[in-house]
Amino acid sequence: MSSKLRVLYLEDNTDDFLLVQRELQKAGWALEMRQVDNEHDFTRHVREGNWDIVLADFNLPGYGGMAALEFVRRTGYEVPFILISGTIGEDAAVDCIRAGANDYVLKENLRRLNHAVTRELGEATARRERRKSEEERSKLETKLRQAQKMEAMGRLAGGIAHDFNNILTAILGHAEMAAFHLADSPAKGNIEQVLKASARARDLVQQILAFSRQRPAEKKVILLDSVVHEATKLLRATIPAAIEISVHIPPAGAPVLVDPSQIHQMLINLGTNAAHAMKDRGGRLEIGLVKCTVGADLVRQFAQLHAGPHMCLTISDTGSGMDAGTLERLFEPFFTTKGPGEGTGLGLAVVHGIVQSHDGAISVESHPGTGTVFRTYFPIVASGPAQAPQPAAPPIPRGKGELVLFIDDESSVLALAEAMLKNLGYTTLGCSHPEQGLAVFEERQDDIALVITDLSMPGMSGLELAKKLLQIRPSARIILTSGYTGDLDIDQCSRLGFHGLLTKPFPLRTLGETNSKALL
């Protein structure tokens, strides 16, 4: 509402108009008041809008108050409407209110007008506020629904990860053993590709789990080069060929303390957005890495940044760019300009969270039609593995013919595990039902050196089975395996009496090392 009360008054009698105007002025209103006396002027002024209140004489030759009221309500204009009349009877007054007038005032009793106007303005404000809060509630409900959808997706992802890991366990394990047997065969190269691809699939599952379960960051001191190369390879494989990708990495980079899989995810999210912005016309995606010094200007702009040396990772595109409205909101969770099914609006919210959790910052520069540049900053740390080469891995610990009982309801996992254990020098017994495993253990407990059991099996979980095994033989050595251990970590496992935890898919080395530790 403007500081003056804007009143539109349909009235043919100017004396009455002035009388009403004086009455409102007497009550203290500063007025911007317009008199109209015919349909044409009335409807034009209503359409031009922005009135705080509309008054109308009931009896007007040609175009009366009721017709005016009907017009205002038909346009959906929610302005308070008060009829003023000298000759209105009780029935006509009731009809007015029924037709949507907010009040009526008799010309003989104009003193009531101020009261009616004040009350109607108050109610109009209350209505506006109610509507605003309803709109906000409905927006929140939409966000909540989306959040619930994400949560459901997270649970679904967890479930898929479990089954998918079982499949991967078989692929990785068999490929690993095939590579082992194929010392000098030309097929060894193919198997190595299978291993590489399976390892990528395993990482992808871990990423899905990271997103769905908000896994805490696993930070390491690394050069960003390898993550940039990995992510670029994945982007190259997934985005259209009309988009050129170029990567600029300085020969002497500096180490940063980061969770490599999160940085990978950040690059994929930024790269995917860039590709989407160029999907119509093609273009160039540039990924650049440079050493830079963060100075006072950037520190003022990004509170969490500290002045000093940083690695700046830049992702730029020559795509559609963004207008000011999009730029203002792009990091908001669920903000998207893409159609349903095309984007959830979470990509940049995740990127923002990742940068923040690394004491870094992200800036964006974009103009409609010319493309976009995202710059991310990560503090350089004192030293990294670049300076200290990794020591060669020690040989895989092997068994000495000990008998291992392996229990898993998934037959492909069981077959593979038995083959891997034999390969490592153990003898094995495999069971695909927990009940059967229990019976075998009861019978051969003196011979069995180690039990490895899956966590989720029909009929009896790995936890229940372990409890029973430990009742039979408190000194039993048991390792738990699972594709999806949820909240179980190694400490919780050892409190439950286990001697190790194997997350599927597990490579030969992990199996060998976990067994040898459990048998110590």
Ligand X SMILES: Nc1ncnc2c1ncn2[C@@H]1O[C@H](COP(=O)(O)OP(=O)(O)OP(=O)(O)O)[C@@H](O)[C@H]1O
Binding part of the chain for Mg ion, among 4-12, 85-93, 340-348, 399-407 by CB under 5 A, reads 340-348
Of 336 and 453, the one with the shorter C-beta distance to ligand X is 336
The verdict on 52 binding ligand X (CB under 6 A) reads no
Stretch that binds ligand X, among 298-306, 347-355, 454-462, 503-511 (CB under 6 A): 347-355
- 510 makes contact with ligand X (CB under 6 A): no
Q: Report d(CA 93, CA 91) in Å as an integer.
A: 5
List the single partner that 320 binds among Mg ion, ligand X, none, CB under 5 to 8 Å by kind: ligand X
Write out the two tokens for 298.
Answer: 């950037």
- Could you say whether residue 222 binds ligand X (CB under 6 A)? no
Q: What per-residue string of b and e applies to 446-465 under the rule 16 or more CB within 10 Å gives b?
A: eebbbbbbbbebeebebbeb
40: which residues sit within 8 A by CB, 6+ positions away? none
Q: Which stretch binds ligand X (CB under 6 A): 338-346, 432-440, 458-466, 486-494?
A: 338-346
Candidates 64, 319, 347, 512: give the one binding Mg ion (CB under 5 A).
347
If one counts every other C-beta atom within 10 angstroms of the C-beta of residue 262, the result is 23
Pick from ligand X, Mg ion, none: which does 106 bind, CB < 5 to 8 A by kind? Answer: none
The answer to whether residue 372 forms part of the interface with Mg ion (CB under 5 A) is: no
Kindly state the smallest distance separating residue 279's Cβ from ligand X, in Å: 11
Binding-residue total with ligand X (CB under 6 A): 23
User: Which among ligand X, Mg ion, none contacts residue 277 (Cβ within 5 to 8 A by kind)?
Assistant: ligand X
Q: Which C-beta is closer to Mg ion: that of 374 or that of 406? A: 374
Report the partner that residue 417 touches, choosing among ligand X, Mg ion, none (CB closer than 5 to 8 A by kind): none
Which residues lie closer than 8 Å to 426 by C-beta, 6 or more apart? 399, 401, 402, 403, 404, 450, 515
What is the rounded distance in angstroms from the CA atom of residue 516 to the CA atom of residue 520?
A: 6
Find the part of the chain contacting ligand X (CB under 6 A) among 52-60, 284-292, 303-311, 317-325: 317-325
Look up residue 93 and give its two tokens. 């007054």
CA distances from residue 274 to 245, 268, 340, 370, 371 in whole angstroms, order as listed: 11, 10, 19, 12, 9
Q: In 10 A of CB 434, how many CB atoms?
A: 23
Measure the CA dihedral 166/168/173/175, to 10°. Answer: 150
3-state secondary structure of 14: helix
The partner in contact with residue 201, picked from Mg ion, ligand X, none with C-beta cut-offs of 5 to 8 angstroms by kind, is none
Among 105, 258, 274, 312, contact with ligand X (rule: CB under 6 A) = 274
On whether the CB atoms of residues 287 and 359 are closer than 8 A, the answer is no
Do the bridges between strand 308-317 and strand 283-294 make them parallel or antiparallel, or are there none, so unpaired?
Answer: antiparallel
Q: Single out the residue of 322, 354, 424, 501 in contact with ligand X (rule: CB under 6 A).
A: 322
Half-sphere exposure of 284 (CA within 13 A, CB side): 6
Determine, following the binding rule CB under 6 A, whether residue 268 of this chain makes contact with ligand X: no
CB of 72 to Mg ion, least distance (A): 46
Distance, CA of 286 to CA of 472 (rounded, Å): 63
Regarding 320 and contact with ligand X (CB under 6 A), the answer is yes
Residue 266 beta carbon to ligand X: minimum distance, rounded to whole angstroms = 11
Taking the complex as a whole, the smallest distance from the CB of residue 258 to ligand X amounts, in Å, to 20
The answer to whether 240 and 275 have CB atoms below 8 angstroms apart is yes
Q: Which does 326 bind (CB under 5 to 8 A by kind): Mg ion, ligand X, none?
A: ligand X
Answer yes or no whether residue 335 interacts with ligand X by CB under 6 A. yes
For residue 78, the tally of other CB atoms under 10 A from its CB is 12
302 near ligand X, judged by CB under 6 A: no
437 binds ligand X (CB under 6 A): no
- Given Mg ion, ligand X, none, residue 337, with its beta carbon under 5 to 8 Å by kind, binds ligand X
Site for Mg ion in 262-281 (CB under 5 A): 273
Q: Using alpha carbons, list the distances in angstroms from residue 287 to 18, 240, 264, 376.
A: 72, 17, 13, 11
Q: Considering only 43-51, 220-228, 267-275, 444-452, which stretch makes contact with ligand X by CB under 6 A?
A: 267-275
Task: Catalog residues that contact Mg ion under the rule CB under 5 A.
Answer: 273, 347
Task: Catalog residues that contact ligand X under the rule CB under 6 A.
Answer: 269, 273-274, 277, 317, 319-322, 326, 330, 335-338, 343-349, 372
